[in-house]
């Protein structure tokens, strides 16, 4: 349906000037490539510049400096209608008085396409979105999820090269959000349209993305697959932002070509070399709560929290003066440790990930 299009952001910066004349650097020199057909999520805490970056892509904001390539065209200074983008908004932005059919057809009518072509394209999208039965309803006669599907249909029908989403599911309840997320992913794969999706929901980002872009204070911290971001975060911020992370300290006491040996309070773990730290250096590393070996002999420490969560059992333990999280998957028929009792465990060396300086 769409030609797959590459998107490139080059040295993109946006500085807002407030009415008090203060300067706010909302986006700080970002460089990013979205390969044709790729689904990318911009993820980061509130105020980190996600929406501003997306609005620059859509043409609702003009960059202070930098370039935006959609295909091989620099669109940084073009108005939204001159760009090959369509946007899905958080609040659906449907016309309340128009039925589903006319809401979806609206963009094509503005383009003054022949009536027959409009009918065919709306029909095709209604089928794709399984929304034929809703065509005559107005937005107030539909659930939030159904309205969001119309809003997605309205963007898809434009057959633009790039689809932009700004937290489109945040008004929906948790279950519907997961359903819609799978739906969006399925349709995006089917249509093959390059997509950029803004969210601050990490699970959503994991469930949707080919690549996740982690932002902080307007700058990109890391770009990678969900797996790389979760298992190999480059720094403490990324580690803490995605999932739960324990950050511990160790010392590099031996080095091979691909591995290093870490001394963690007297226990030696050989793990993958991920940074250019040198022998004798103290480093920080990350280990996820699920990456401890419960019952292992390396550590034996008191439990300060012990909670049964169904799929796993959550512990907090006091280790080297700090509190760390440990979780045991599938607690069925396993003995659990109560608060005040001691938990024995080791660390899985393959799951130790050394962080950058």
Ligand X SMILES: Nc1ncnc2c1ncn2[C@@H]1O[C@H](COP(=O)(O)OP(=O)(O)OP(=O)(O)O)[C@@H](O)[C@H]1O
Q: Which is nearer to ligand X, 47 or 192 (CB)?
A: 47
Q: Which is nearer to ligand X, 178 or 219 (CB)?
A: 219
Among 11, 16, 111, 127, binds ligand X (CB under 6 A): 16
* Residue 16 interface partner, choices Mg ion, ligand X, none, CB cut-off 5-8 Å depending on type: ligand X
* Residue 46 interface partner, choices ligand X, Mg ion, none, CB cut-off 5-8 Å depending on type: ligand X
* Residue 95 binds ligand X (CB under 6 A): no
Distance CA 329, CA 117 (A): 55
User: Among candidates 17, 18, 15, which has minimal Cα distance to 26?
Assistant: 15
For 12, 250, 290, the CA distances from 272, given in Å and listed in that order, are: 34, 14, 18
* Residue 48 binds ligand X (CB under 6 A): yes
User: Among candidates 5, 8, 4, which has minimal Cα distance to 63?
Assistant: 8
Q: Which is nearer to Mg ion, 44 or 161 (CB)?
A: 44
- Which of these segments, 39-47, 72-80, 272-280, 296-304, binds ligand X (CB under 6 A)? 39-47
Q: Which is nearer to ligand X, 68 or 150 (CB)?
A: 68
Binding mask 169-208 for ligand X (x = CB under 6 A): -------------------------------x--------
Q: How far is the CB of 22 from ligand X (least distance, A)?
A: 8
* Residue 51 binds Mg ion (CB under 5 A): yes
- Which of these segments, 43-51, 117-125, 183-191, 285-293, binds Mg ion (CB under 5 A)? 43-51
* Residue 52 binds Mg ion (CB under 5 A): no
Q: How far is the CB of 149 from ligand X (least distance, A)?
A: 23
Distance CA 134, CA 57 (A): 32
Q: Which is nearer to ligand X, 48 or 238 (CB)?
A: 48
Distance CA 151, CA 111 (A): 18
* Residue 103 binds ligand X (CB under 6 A): no
* Residue 216 binds ligand X (CB under 6 A): no
Using an 8 Å Cβ cutoff, are 353 and 287 in contact? yes
User: Among candidates 7, 9, 12, 11, which has minimal Cα distance to 71?
Assistant: 7
Distance CA 325, CA 327 (A): 7
First to last CA, the chain: 46
Position closest to Mg ion via CB: 51
Distance CA 89, CA 104 (A): 14
Distance CA 323, CA 306 (A): 13
* Residue 144 interface partner, choices ligand X, Mg ion, none, CB cut-off 5-8 Å depending on type: none
Residue with tokens 């945040």: 170
* Residue 26 binds ligand X (CB under 6 A): yes
Size of the site for ligand X (CB under 6 A): 13
* Residue 60 binds ligand X (CB under 6 A): no
* Residue 229 binds ligand X (CB under 6 A): no
Among 6, 15, 35, 47, binds ligand X (CB under 6 A): 47
Using an 8 Å Cβ cutoff, are 354 and 271 in contact? yes
CA 116 to chain centre: 39
Instruction: Beginning with the edge strand found earlier in the chain, give each strand of the sheet holding 211-216 in spatial order.
Output: 85-88, 162-166, 194-199, 39-43, 211-216, 219-224
- Give me the half-sphere count of Cα atoms (radius 13 Å) on the Cβ side of residue 174: 1
- Which of these segments, 45-53, 88-96, 155-163, 187-195, binds Mg ion (CB under 5 A)? 45-53
Tokens of 110: 């503005």
- Residues at the contact surface with ligand X, assessed by CB under 6 A: 16, 18, 24, 26, 44, 46-52, 200
């Amino acid at each position: 349906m769409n030609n797959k299009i590459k998107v490139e952001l080059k040295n993109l910066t946006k500085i807002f000037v407030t009415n008090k004349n203060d300067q706010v650097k909302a986006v700080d020199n970002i460089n990013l490539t979205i390969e044709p057909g790729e689904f990318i999520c911009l993820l980061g805490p509130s105020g980190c510049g996600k929406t501003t970056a997306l609005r620059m892509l859509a043409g609702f904001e003009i960059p202070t400096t930098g370039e935006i390539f959609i295909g091989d065209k620099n669109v940084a200074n073009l108005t939204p209608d001159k760009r090959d983008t369509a946007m899905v908004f958080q609040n659906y932005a449907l016309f309340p008085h128009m039925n589903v059919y006319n809401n979806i057809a609206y963009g094509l009518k503005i383009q003054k396409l022949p009536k027959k072509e409009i009918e065919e394209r709306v029909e095709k999208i209604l089928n794709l979105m399984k929304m034929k039965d809703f065509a005559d309803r107005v937005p107030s006669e539909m659930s939030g999820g159904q309205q969001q599907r119309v809003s997605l249909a309205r963007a898809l029908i434009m057959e633009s090269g790039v689809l932009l989403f700004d937290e489109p599911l945040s008004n929906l309840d948790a279950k519907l959000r997961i359903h819609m997320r799978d739906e969006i992913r399925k349709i995006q794969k089917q249509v093959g349209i390059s997509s950029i999706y803004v969210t601050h929901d990490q699970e959503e980002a994991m469930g949707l993305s080919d690549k996740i872009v982690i932002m902080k204070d307007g700058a990109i911290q890391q770009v990678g697959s969900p797996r790389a971001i979760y298992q190999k975060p480059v720094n403490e911020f990324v580690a803490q932002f995605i999932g739960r992370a324990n950050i511990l300290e160790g010392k590099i006491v031996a080095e091979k070509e691909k591995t290093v040996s870490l001394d963690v309070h007297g226990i030696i773990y050989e793990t993958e070399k991920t940074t250019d730290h040198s022998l004798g250096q103290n480093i920080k590393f990350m280990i996820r709560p699920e990456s401890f070996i419960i019952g292992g002999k390396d550590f034996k420490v008191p439990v300060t929290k012990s909670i049964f969560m169904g799929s796993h059992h959550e512990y907090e333990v006091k280790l080297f003066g700090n509190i760390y999280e440990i979780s045991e998957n599938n607690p069925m028929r396993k003995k659990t440790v109560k608060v005040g009792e001691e938990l024995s465990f080791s660390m899985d060396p393959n799951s130790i990930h050394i962080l950058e300086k």
